[in-house]
Structure 1
């Protein structure tokens, strides 16, 4: 497995942070702090040397004032000033020297043999012409600091030295003094030792703070991490023992509250999922029965439509025969017997028509009763859809409360809510179709009743015609009129039969649409059943507490 920085422990990250803080301090110490301190010490020494030279410079000014007042001659003043400067000391061993602009050594307490000599050829241990550089410095600036190598009195080893020189113009003398850099190195060594001790103490303190942090923070967090892994594995009976009330303790209380709420949510979801599966099974079985019954009603309505169509054709044929009979009666009354036979056939047809109309009326009544049953089932499906939608909303709320652990339940809740909305939409469509079907069925029943009355009237007319045929000899014209009237009524009956057939076809098509809608409801219920099973499977992933028995979903037939 490839190592990644995110896999480091919190304690490791803490020590890394400590190292990142300490590393700049350790690097800053030799690269910036010590050089800056050394430079500051050198500047302080230069300022001290300048102040010291200014003090000794006042001696020469005092003797120059005596020359100006005539109290001393210049030679006397120079001798007394050189003697006083030669005896001056500071820092126990530090001294002053004097040379002139021609590099001649005027006074030096540790080089008396060289006093009066030209120092142009004098070189330090590094080959630097010290007095020549001093003369050039004061001629250019009047005063300033200069570095060179010199030997400490009583020692032969040359060491670096910082000096400050200043020109006393009235006499042409250059007054100077200096300190050895070795003293600065000693101070730097002492300061560096103190800084190292300070940095070490800070590091030890930080390490101690890290150890305390590990005991008080990292260890409880590790325990909380292990418990969280058990919860992620499905164990909702765990709890975190909290013995502090700091931020870590508050986190433990919040974790325990979250696990308790998650356990209650999972148990509620499992219970609701089981109930949803059972309800979906009942709805599916009822929808299958209703769909089968509706399909049978549709087939019966199709048969009624075919019978009515056949009846309409028979009525039309009867009307044609009645017309032919009227024409034959006008020309020859002897065909009255044939007309009588035609009337008898029409009467039988009309009787059959009456029976078919009665059967159609019974079918329409049964279709109306089935429509009422469908409406009740649709109301039941709509109520279940509403309860499922409320369940999805409650599940989404509990999932939102659970935070990251409840994201999966939020997704399931959204899917259940979508399914409930789809079921409600399908129920509304089927309810609309059912109402339309009921209206058309009612209209068809009314038409059937009217058709029955007209057929019964036709029977009566047929009977009257048969009576009239017996008196055909005496009233041929009356027979012609009645036969014409019979033909007209047959035409109207044929038109009514055709209209009734069209309406029955429409009712049959509506019943077919209802069958299709019921099949969609059955499919939606099957989807709801599958989603509820999946929801229960997700809930069953978390083991219940010891006092709570697991909920087993009912097994359903495929």
Structure 2
């Protein structure tokens, strides 16, 4: 797994841990809120309603007592500066509010029977208090029956009101006890959730720490391997192979570094082998340089001998050039005479050739005439065949006309005329055949005579051509001799120039030989320096452990 994947896994686990812890905290918070809302709806709100009911009951009782003080026969009536309706309105409003509070209390259904029973007892005492005390008391006060109202207050209200107060106190006590128990349970749940959240957080942290330690260990192991590789490389140790167990980017780097180490080790081995070969080559070069020095000395001696021989050859070549020039002039005179005779004989050959061409053309014309007469004969054969066919068709037409009777007489006359015309055509064709046969026999005889004349002319032409060829060969031979003499003279001059050039080149070679001797000396010195460098390179390579 790559380092990027490991870090990504760590981030994912940390994120999941954070999300899980947050989700659990949110769940616990929502659960606490839900419990608080239920506790408020089922316990705190009913307690407030009970307290409100008790407060309203006390207020109605107080207002009833104040209303009784408006009795005109009493001593307290003069103490009030307002009408009794003020108190009666408060009593009526209190009764209405009491009904509303009772309705709110009735909406709540408890999970425990004890609470429901206490609630029912509260409703019963409240209803009894309203029916037997408050409503009759209000009615008597409205009627101005203060005596009856006072009697009702003393006899009935004083008896029923304590029952209601006791029921309210009992119901409120149960609600408060349930509230305290629920608050304790809620606190216990919250504490439990806190412990669970802490344990989950600790577990998540441990997992993250373990994975982070694993990642750090894999990375540091790779880094330690890289450090060990760098230390070996700095110490010149290329024989140890560094390995790691991980499969991340550092492992890839270590693999590449091992590959580079192998390549460097092979390169150093090749350099070592090459340095040995270089040392051997330097020694051989030094030996060759000494041998070259000796060879250059011998070469300079031989070059001096070649220069003397070239001077003698130059004198000989000049003498040969003069003799070749004299022979070239004599050969030129003989060549001119042979060319004149060859020209005269060539004109005669041309005239005979023209005669031979005319005879050949006449023979070709007669051959063409013979061929055309043969073509005419073929045409006449076709015409004869057509005449025979026409005669046969005319005969068939006459037969058909005879079968037709009177209707075929006109057609029979035409058929007879056609047959007569075909007969005349056959006769004319036979006469033309005879004329063409005579023409062909005479053409054959003329062609034979022309062929004999042409053969005789060809024989004469061949004899003159052979004579002309012989003269041409003589002229060519003389011309060749003249060219050879000229070439000899030119070659002699060129050889003289070449000899001079060779002489100059020999001097140049002598100078080059001296420079080569100096170069051989320098090569010998460079070979010694090269051998020293090769030994130094081998000593440096020996510092590495391959």
* TM-score by shorter chain over 0.5: no
Higher helix fraction (1 or 2): 2
> Which structure has the greater CA radius of gyration?
2
The structure carrying a bigger strand percent of its residues is 1
TM-score, normalization: structure 1?
0.31
